[in-house]
Amino acid sequence: MGYLVGVDLGTSGTKTVLFDPAGRALAGATAEYPLYQPEIGWAEQDPDDWWRAVRETIAAVIKKSGINTRDIRAMGLSGQMHGLVLLDRDGAVLRRSIIWCDQRTGLECDQIHERVGRERLIQITANPALTGFTASKLLWVRNHEPGIFERTAKVLLPKDYIRYRLTGEYATEVSDASGTQFLDVPRRTWSAEVLDRLGIPADWMPAVYESYEISGQLTRQAAALTGLPEGLPVAGGGGDQAAGAVGNGIVRTGVVSSTIGTSGVVFAHTDSVRIDPGGRVHTFCHAVPGCWHIMGVTQGAGLSYRWFRDEFCAVEQVMARRLGVDPYELMGEQARSAQPGCGGLIYLPYLMGERTPHLDPAAKGVFFGLSARHTRADMIRAVMEGVTYSLLDALCIIREMGVDASEVRASGGGARSPLWRQMQADMFGTRVCALESGEGPALGAALLAGVGAGIYGSVPEACDAAVRPGESVQPDERSARVYRRLYPIYRGLYAQLKPSYDRLAETLEALREE
């Protein structure tokens, strides 16, 4: 039996899962870690926390499964994209990682556009300079922490730091590297032009692999720490969205995924490079060789739901502990009791700024239309609807680009909610299905490793063997009619609030400097 291990390094925690070749999860384990926010709009994590979580979850999975580890054929890695991990010449971490949702680098994005040229940057990297991407973070360190910048020898992404700890190799792969702003996305290699114009040494960049390729083998030290066999092949893997797309079978045109995790993502496969000139959505290399994907990202999807749970649903959390259920289950019951549209209450999910379609780190979350008649149930449902409107923003742009989206597959934590799946069907106007496996990125990473190890002949073949669609829902016309009337109001709110967002950002900056 050729077992496969998939490791998904998320924002809230790391999940490791053991799969058989049919994609069945045999054992899984999760370990959480903190998010540090030293300033408003900043977001950092400690790479040592990631490495601890990986070691703990691998050991737990081996113990739960009871298998002979010699029967494991390969391991694949998936992880949160865009995070900046800086290592010195000895491989030691120089500072906490500035992760994907950090919004401190607006001025550095301006510098990138000045040095490379906005249009030229989009031609090479397929995207404008964005605060969430790795390049602007590295420039921020140069501008604000020159001592750390001078000691830097390697720049890695989060999952690739874990690869380094497992194999000793400095390596990445095309899907995750696409989000650094250093990759020539059409050519699937580092851009010497961008690196030169930004003054970044090319030897700081790790080797780039295709996502299924074996990038290293487990070292003796890592084997002792994890319980896995020495020499185990480790595949390139994928950024969380590309790996999740493989785990959802988004490897051919026509099928789109909608993921509600900490962020929200609408993901579409394409056989050729398609770039939105406005940079509202991202074009990255797919984990499928010779293919790309278009991705719209909303920053505060599941993050909004979790924030509301933590700040306003203490009663539900206490009741959930007593009943032995998830607090989100009780929140979902309340949301179902509210009417579609929540009596005109609209939520903008911009808790960490926004990417698609606004590219605005200054955007802030808003409850609009709140009145004395609204209840907690209305507010919970409004958060869910606001997140879904933000996903619809992305889907509309993808459709404008001529990409077929005849079927949507729901994934991420939000896919476990029947109400959230129905909202998506109602707003998207198409069938939305869940999947038998909810393991998404971990499964995708494992399947990519299976291709690299020779268990499957190709990535699509791996998906055909292991990915099975589950229950589906069709749009409810009555609810869809409500959302069609309210969505233009949702879309118009950002433009009306934009001057106030900018003024607030300027005021807060002035107050910090006083």
Q: Which residues pair with 38 in a beta bridge?
A: none
**Dihedral sign, Cα of residue 312, residue 314, residue 319, residue 323:** positive
* Rounded-to-integer distance, Cα 291 and Cα 289, Å: 6
Query: Which residues, other chains included, contact 295 with Cβ-Cβ below 8 Å and sequence gap of 6+?
Result: 241, 265, 266, 267, 268, 281, 282, 283, 284, 394
Contact between 224 and 461 (Cβ < 8 Å): no
The CA angle 254-457-14, to the nearest 5 degrees, is: 75
Peptide bond into 357 cis (omega under 30): yes
First to last CA, the chain: 65
| Class of residue 24 by CB neighbours under 10 A (exposed 0-12, middle 13-18, buried 19+) | middle
In the three-class reduction of DSSP (H, G, I as helix; E, B as strand; rest coil), residue 351 is classed as: strand
Q: How far apart are CA 129 and CA 147, in angstroms?
A: 24
On the 0-12 / 13-18 / 19+ scale of CB atoms within 10 A, 34 is exposed
| Crossing angle of helices 106-116 and 118-125, rounded to 10° | 90
Rounded to the nearest angstrom, the gap between the alpha carbon of residue 196 and the centroid of all alpha carbons in its chain is 28
Backbone angles phi, psi at 161, to 5 degrees: -65, -40
Q: Is 240 a catalytic residue?
A: yes
Return phi, psi of residue 305, to 5°.
-65, -40
Beta-carbon contacts of 331 under 8 Å, excluding residues fewer than 6 positions away, are 305, 308, 309, 313, 316, 380
At residue 401, φ and ψ (nearest 5 deg) are -80, 5
Residue type, 268: A
Q: Which of 49, 160, 184, 240 is catalytic?
A: 240
Task: List C-alpha distances in Å: 36 to 99, 298, 307.
Answer: 10, 20, 15
CA distances from 432 to 245, 246, 258, 312, 409 (A): 15, 17, 9, 30, 6
Cβ neighbours for 297, distance < 8 A, ≥ 6 positions apart: 263, 264, 265, 282, 355, 356, 394
Q: Are 100 and 85 in contact (CB under 8 A)?
A: no
Question: Annotated active-site positions, please?
Answer: 240
